[in-house]
Amino acid sequence: MSTKALVVDDSRAMRSILGRILIGIGFEVLQAGDGQEALEVLDREFPGVGLVLSDWNMPRMDGLTFVKAVRAQSRYAEIPVVMVTTETHIEQMVTALEAGANEYIMKPFTAVMIEDKLRMLQVVQ
């Protein structure tokens, strides 16, 4: 398993919060401020990234478009992608999962919620 996780969010504070949780679990954390930057990081760091947590609402490239772009490239097929977002409508959750997200976490969240989802995905023990 790769120990690098990519956190994609236009909020520096949210990247920091998620980053601290992931570091506590044992990940090295990479960050991107939007989907376009995240694709550049993935391209540069591949195959080192073993997990992506992405917000939905971001400038330049939103999280849904980012998930679709990741899933369009077969080399990224094994990377778990978790949407972490304020979007709380069930339709949006379904849309994200259909686009290729592996899991969906609604803000606000706790560290335990993040860890539980990652355990379900078998990303952490």
Q: For the chain, what's the residue count?
A: 125
Q: Is residue 102 part of a domain?
A: yes
Mean pLDDT, range 91-109, rounded to an integer: 95
Q: Is residue 17 part of a domain?
A: yes
Q: Is the pTM above the cut of 0.85?
A: yes
Q: Based on the structure, what is the number of domains in the chain?
A: 1
Q: What is the CATH number of the domain that holds 76?
A: 3.40.50.2300
Q: Is residue 50 part of a domain?
A: yes
Q: Mind listing the pLDDT tens digit for each residue in 5-41?
A: 999 999 999 999 999 999 999 999 999 999 999 999 9
Q: Is residue 59 part of a domain?
A: yes
Domain carrying residue 25: 4-120
Reported as a pLDDT band with limits 50, 70 and 90, residue 123 is: very high
Q: Is residue 29 part of a domain?
A: yes
Reported as a pLDDT band with limits 50, 70 and 90, residue 2 is: low
Contact 72, 86 (CB under 8 A): no
Reported as a pLDDT band with limits 50, 70 and 90, residue 125 is: confident
Q: Is residue 125 part of a domain?
A: no
Q: Is residue 114 part of a domain?
A: yes
Q: Is residue 109 part of a domain?
A: yes
Report pLDDT for 88: 84
Report pLDDT for 35: 98
Q: What is each CA distance from 107 to 3, 42, 85, 87, 116, in whole angstroms? A: 24, 24, 5, 8, 15
